[in-house]
Every structure is written in structure tokens, then in C-alpha cells.
Amino acid sequence: MQALGIYVHVPFCRRRCDYCAFATWSDRHHLWDRYMSACRRQIEGLTRWGRGPATSVFFGGGTPSLLPPELLLGVLGHIAATLGVAPGAEVTVECNPETVTAELLGRYRAGGVTRLSFGVQSTVPHVLSSLGREHDPGTVVRAAQLAGEAGFADAYNVDLIFGSAGESVADWEASLTGVLSLDPPPAHVSAYALTVEPGTPLAAHPNRYPDEDDQARKYVMAEDMLSSAGLKWYEISNWARAGAECAHNLLYWSQGEYLGVGCAAHSHLSMSPSTSRRWWNVRTPERFCRLLETGRQVEAAGETLGPAERAWEAMMLSLRTRQGVPAEALPGEVCEQGLAEVRAEPGGRRRAVLTPRGRLLANEVSLRVLVPG
Ligand code: SF4
């Protein structure tokens, strides 16, 4: 079966974290119903692509778990009824720990959700408040416990952020230890270096900008602690127990096909064996609703990727994963400098895979990749 991911963007949060540049709003609660109806309408239009059933569905945001579960599950049901959801499909919902209750997770489980992703970011109180997050470490412990009780023991992710102002190396170590000692422990951890996005409140405070050397030290610490706990890296910012890798994100990193539902959501479909098209929806929820309510398209812009662009992009994406790139695509000195190592694969193929040091310098290494053709 051809893999197909459906991403549903839920652009609502209780408040905005000051480093966040995502398409999300904290003053649009009145739009929840209308927005999810518009999503259902957009899903009906997606049948024109002749794709499906979905092998993964991902509700991201924003804070999807803020919504009443019937709204979110209504959209999932609509996807199943129109495009289809394949047996065994991965269905993920992003949750903020403070929004989680036993009832909510029970409803998700009964409604077909198979995986949760918690926006934890840190387990150290002063770091959480510096990031502007609303939860405390106890909330995370409780959310993990509820996830386990609702049947997600082997299927939940924790998102972490490192490098915020005031976070010491000991704080970061405490966050990693805190997450790894959750009961049940997460099967998947995403750890992202804090970045300063233009236009965010954080961008206006250079004294709070992350320090690159500090972040490098913390990345190596994450690699050491997560791999010792049995979570293996499979993309620069992602570690998982064997078999718990996120199927939906793997589609993004392998140029797979996905359709985006909701404002600011991106889509990508193959148009021929060597070309594909990527496009994205209008950014605001109001515009998204208005267009669908008046029978119009929600695409804001798009681009066609020809054979050369696809080959280049495939190499860039793969370099960032544990698949690596064909050994001949990296000049020998990259391995000599300890940035990548060559592994032999069954069938005699040789792949060059980034080392932890190479992952820290992935952007620089990517400039040295030789793309055939
Ligand atoms: S909860 Fe997540 S999506 Fe919402 S403002 Fe904070 S970082 Fe952004």
C-alpha cells in the first residue's frame, strides 16, 4: 500500500509561548467549531487526488488537545469516511500536559488515536517559566501516568527544548533524567535546540538568545543519555525505541506523500516518477474558514519539484537521518574529520552516516554533499 500521511493543523493555544513562530492564536477560541467544520469541508475536496487510505494522521498545532475531543475525533472520523484510514495506521495527537485528563485520553483511545506527543520542553520549574510554559513537572508525571493507563504506554513522545536563558547544563541533565524516569517511560523523545525566530517576543531580547557551544554540549548529553536508555537516534532531533519511530515524520524525511488540512498546512504529492508538487494553505484560520464556506480553494502558493530538485532534496533529508547518504556522496575528508562514518549494508552498499559531531554541523556538512546528475 502506498503510504499517505494526513496532517491536520489545529491553530489554537491557551497562550503564546514567546519563542513560538507557529501559525497559532490564543484569542480565537470562538472559531473552534467553525474551523473544524471547514477542515471537514477541505477533507471532502481532497478526494480529488485519488489517494488513500491514510497510513498516518497527525493532529498538530497549536494545541490540538485544547479542543473538545468530539471536535477532533469528528475530523478523524471524516477522514476515515472519505479518504479512508488504513488498518494499523498511526494516529497522533499533540497534547500539552496541562490539558490532559483520564477522560480525554480514554476518548482518544476509543476514537482511534494510537499515539500521543506531549509538549514537555523541560522538567525544571525555572526553565519552564523562562519558556513561558504553563505546566509544572508534576503535571508531566501525571500526564505520562494517564497516558499509560489509557493504553499509550508504548506510544507516546515527549518534546524537549534545550538552550533557553538560565538553563544550566545541570538543568538539562535533570530534564533528561526526569523524562527518562517517567512511568511509563516514553518510547520516543524529540529534543530541539531553541532557535530565535524573527518576529517572536524572544527575538527582541538578545540577552536571552541561546549560546551555540552550550547547545552543542547539551545535544551530546542528550545523545548519550537517550541512547543509554535504549532510545536510538533516527533523525537529528529524534530518538526512539526500535519500532516506535514516528511513521508520519518518516514520510516527511523520505519525500513521501502527505496532504495538509487546515490553515498553514503543507501538502506534497508525486506527480510523476521524477517530479512532485508541494503547496501550502492560507495562513489564518479566518481566511481558511471563509474560503471553504464560499466554495473556494485554500491553497496559498506552491511549487513543482523537478528531477534535479528532488534528487538534491532527497540527499539533504536523508543526510539528517540514520539512513545517511551513499558513501560516494560525501568527500572523504568529511569522514576523516570525524563528521560521518561509513557503514556497509547488506547487498554491499556503503552509506555515510553523520556522527554526533557531524549532526551538530549538519548544515555545514550538507554544503559538501555531492548530488549526482
Ligand atoms: S504551546 Fe506550542 S504551539 Fe502553542 S504557543 Fe506554545 S510552542 Fe507554540
What would the pLDDT profile of 218-259 be if each residue is shown by its tens digit?
999 999 999 999 999 999 999 999 999 999 999 999 999 999
Tell me which residue has its CA closest to atom 3 in ligand 1.
Answer: 62
What CATH superfamily is the domain 4-250?
Aldolase class I (3.20.20.70)
127 contacts: CB under 8 Å, gap ≥ 6: 121, 164, 166, 167, 171, 175
At residue 281, the pLDDT reads 98
Between the CA of 299 and the centroid of ligand 1 the distance, in Å, is 24
By CB atoms closer than 10 A (0-12, 13-18, 19+), residue 296 is: exposed
Question: Minimal CA–CA distance to 215: which of 195, 239, 235, 201?
Answer: 195
Cis (ω within 30 of 0) for the bond into 210?
no
Query: Which of 9, 10, 12, 16 should be mutated for ligand 1, with most atoms under 8 A from CB?
Result: 16
Quote the ligand 1 centre to 331 CA distance (angstroms): 40
Residue 24 DSSP class:
-
Q: Is there an atom of ligand 1 within 6 Å of 75 CB?
A: no
Q: Is the CB of 134 under 6 A from ligand 1?
A: no
User: Is 334 near ligand 1, meaning CB less than 6 Å away?
Assistant: no
| Structure letter (DSSP) for residue 371 | -
Burial of 303 (0-12, 13-18, 19+ CB in 10 A): exposed
Contacts of 20 (CB under 8 A, 6+ apart): 197, 200
Give the pLDDT confidence score for residue 236 in this predicted structure: 97
Label residue 322 exposed, middle or buried (CB < 10 Å: 0-12, 13-18, 19+).
middle
Query: Consecutive sets of 10 residues in the chain, 373 residues long: mean pLDDT of each?
Result: 96 93 95 98 97 97 96 98 98 96 98 97 92 86 98 97 96 98 98 95 93 96 98 98 98 97 98 94 98 97 96 95 94 93 89 96 91 69
Does the beta carbon of 17 lie inside 6 Å of ligand 1? yes
| Pairwise CA distance, residues 57 & 84, whole Å | 11
Residues 193 and 223: their CA atoms lie apart, in Å, by 13
Q: Is any ligand 1 atom within 6 A of the Cβ of residue 24?
A: yes
Ligand 1 near 62 CB (within 6 A):
yes
How remote is the CA of residue 27 from the centroid of ligand 1, in Å? Answer: 13
For residue 121, the ligand 1 atom closest to its alpha carbon is 7
Using a 6 Å cutoff on CB, does residue 60 contact ligand 1?
A: no
Tell me: the pLDDT tens digits for 166-175? Answer: 999 999 999 9
Ordered by start, the domain boundaries in the chain are 4-250, 322-373
**pTM of the model as a whole:** 0.96
Please provide the average confidence, as pLDDT, over all residues in the chain: 95
Measured N-to-C along each axis, helices 102-110 and 137-149 cross at an angle, to the nearest 10 degrees, of 40
Cα dihedral sign, 133-252-109-237: negative
Q: Are 316 and 363 in contact (CB under 8 A)?
A: no
> What amino acid occupies position 26?
S
Q: What is the pLDDT of residue 373?
A: 63
Residues 225 and 222: their CA atoms lie apart, in Å, by 5
Name, in order, each residue with C-beta under 8 angstroms of 60's C-beta and a sequence gap of 6 or more. 7, 8, 9, 10, 92, 94
Best substitution site from 22, 66, 121, 157 to test ligand 1's pocket, by max atoms within 8 Å of Cβ?
22
Which ligand 1 atom lies nearest to the CA of residue 13? 4
Distance of alpha carbon 16 from its chain centroid, rounded? Answer: 18
Q: Which has the closest alpha carbon to 73: 112, 105, 35?
A: 112
- The answer for residues whose C-beta is within 8 angstroms of residue 66's C-beta and 6 or more apart is 10, 12, 13, 14, 96, 99
Please choose from 10, 63, 190 the residue to mutate so as to test ligand 1's pocket, defined by most ligand atoms within 8 A of CB. 63
